[in-house]
Amino acid sequence: MNTIEIIIKYREDFLIGLSVTIQMTIIIWIVGVTIGSILGILGTKYSRSIGLLSKIVSFLLGGIPVLVFLYWLHYPFQNILNIQIDGFYTTILTLSILNIFLVAEQVRNAVEQFPRDYIDSAEVCGFNSNEIIRKIQFPYILRQILPAIIFIQVVMMHSTLFASLISVDELFRIASRVNSEIYKPVEVYSTLAIFFLLITLPITGFAYWLRKRYAFIK
């Protein structure tokens, strides 16, 4: 049984796993990028409170492996609170928290490092504050942080694989289940790689398009 035959025979299973992976990924992206961007901007404005707290949390999270953090939220944390949450939502919570602080750090650093000379030059040319933000700061900062933000989002998508370890039927768990039935690891995991390439390549292409779109600032 080759890769094509495996995809055809187990297409419904793979589509279910793909659907779960995409659902988790989209929620993690939206939550992480939105809240992370806001937190990064606020961290710049209130550097001694929000900014400092954000740095501390980012530092602490950076020392904890993703899988350990996921397991801690899924087992001891829920046991402490005497609650039981589906692994799907635990995964979203775990990766969203990581995404928020990773994005916040990128945004905060970019805003802090924005060249003051650009603002001074824009003011001399008669730009008001809104025009400076819209035409100068936003495009420049977006261009600076975009590669890192896109990379972070791809990593978040790949990290959803850990959800399989807490019984979430995402793509990797489905692939492992199929492999346990037919024992064709090369073909099965090649199929898994194809699925992730099909998801990742459009994202990367979109990132390049955005970089080109905002590449007028040198």
Sign (positive or negative) of CA dihedral 139, 143, 144, 147: positive
Class of domain 3-213: mainly alpha
Going residue by residue through the chain (218 aa), what tens digit of pLDDT does each one get? Answer: 778 888 889 889 999 999 999 999 999 999 999 999 999 999 988 988 999 999 999 999 999 999 999 999 999 999 999 999 999 999 999 999 999 999 999 999 998 888 888 888 888 888 887 887 788 888 888 888 888 898 899 999 999 999 999 989 999 999 999 999 999 999 899 988 988 888 888 887 877 776 676 554 44
Sign (positive or negative) of CA dihedral 38, 40, 43, 44: negative
Contact present, 160 and 24 (Cβ < 8 Å): yes
Select from 67, 16, 66, 29 the least CA-distant residue to 171.
16
What angle is formed at CA 106 by the lines to CA 102 and CA 107, rounded to 5 degrees?
115
pTM of the model: 0.87
Residue 217's pLDDT is 47
CB contact set of 16 (below 8 Å; sequence gap of 6+): 169, 174
Contact present, 188 and 7 (Cβ < 8 Å): no
> Which residue carries 């001074």 as its tokens?
120
